[in-house]
Amino acid sequence: MRILQGQAAGKMVGRLAARSQPIARQEQKVKKIVAEIRRRGDPALRQFARRWDELGSRTVRITPGEMREAFQSVSGELMSSVRLAAENIRDFAERQKPIEWTRTRRGLAVGQLVRPLDSVGCYVPGGRYPLISTLLMTAIPAKVAGVARICVVSPNPPGELLAVADELGIDEFYRVGGAHAVAALAYGTKSIPRVDKIVGPGNSYVTAAKRLVAFDCAIDMLAGPTEVLVVAHAGEPDWIASDLVAQAEHDPDALTILITCSAKLAKAVVASARTQSDANPVARRSLKRNGCVLIASDREQAMVWANQLAPEHITVSEKDVDQVRHAGSIFVGDYSPQAAGDYVSGPNHVLPTGGAARFRAGLAVLDFVKLITVQRLSRTALRRVAPTITTLAQTEGLVAHANSVRIRCSHA
């Protein structure tokens, strides 16, 4: 990890604030994969899945029997942990649900209806270990929202993931991943009917595929490598370093930053992070490549920098919470490790990266519903607002709009 201060630190903030999702290199290859899925459907899907997902001769769709068998084989300790995490995630999602309302004034009634999406595809990345938490964070809000059809895709999913799917009542699960799985969800094949929206994180190929299909199928966000920012001017160096190392072990491209006013704390955190990552090659590589400590002149500058960076995760003290304007999720104080948010606190861990926290929040129930507006005018109400409508319509040159009002008002 590099320690930067003064002009060098300010330049680093500017460079990082301008970051974007690193998917340009993958786009040409992904375009070909998406085109093949659209053109050939299942044969292309199976071809890619055999090459990259270890599909072999197995069916693309996992049977309910396989999920039930997996559920029966996992430990009770794991399922107890899953149930506690699911309870907190479900409770948080329930509190996020928007409400329906109506307001009537002088014969003009307006309001909104809340309707769930018909179908959603949840992408759960593959990797060295089962990403159970991603399944919980994507499927549970969809269920709370009332989505009727929830399907999951994941490359060569392990038994633990299938067991959790069974626990959640997921009956549509496909053992495919990557850009080909995203394309199948977006456009449909014989094996995988298309969905209305795709949610969930993935690697750069998955992100590139989501961007390519976004005009034909809704997506949640373009999630890149994970990011952690800690703003601290005092505290336990080992605790601060542990949060940096924890997020760094996700990905060699993870972004790990400490902002502090204390040069002494900076050096202690760097030393601790080096020690804690010694036995973790992914974290060690990530910290070396993308880890840095920025020494601010004062607390105010520290928070200005933090908001410029708009990080996925940010840890701050209680006194600085009100100063955070841009972040995916905030962790407050010494006893709020970011790992708690990854698993059990309740708020969603599918969060905006690459500075997208400037304009959107993390995955939420709102991603799985539509707000449909409703308007009802009485005869009296229409006559009262008719002059306003006709004036504005005629100004815009939309004479038929104006006529649609006049023709009604001309009748007794």
Catalytic site positions: 312-313
Q: How far apart are CA 197 and CA 357, in angstroms?
A: 20
Mind giving me the DSSP string for 125-168? --SSS--HHHHHHHHHHHHHHT-SEEEEE-SS--HHHHHHHHHH
Distances (CA, A) of 162 to 128, 172, 194: 16, 11, 21
Given the structure tokens 């760097």, which residue do they identify? 270
Q: How far apart are CA 109 and CA 240, in angstroms?
A: 54
111, two tokens = 């309001």
- Which DSSP category does 261 fall into? S
- Of 394, 381, 269, 373, nearest to 277 by C-alpha is 269
Phi–psi pair at 227, nearest 5 degrees: -135, 140
| Torsion (CA) 203, 204, 205, 208 in degrees, nearest 10 | 130
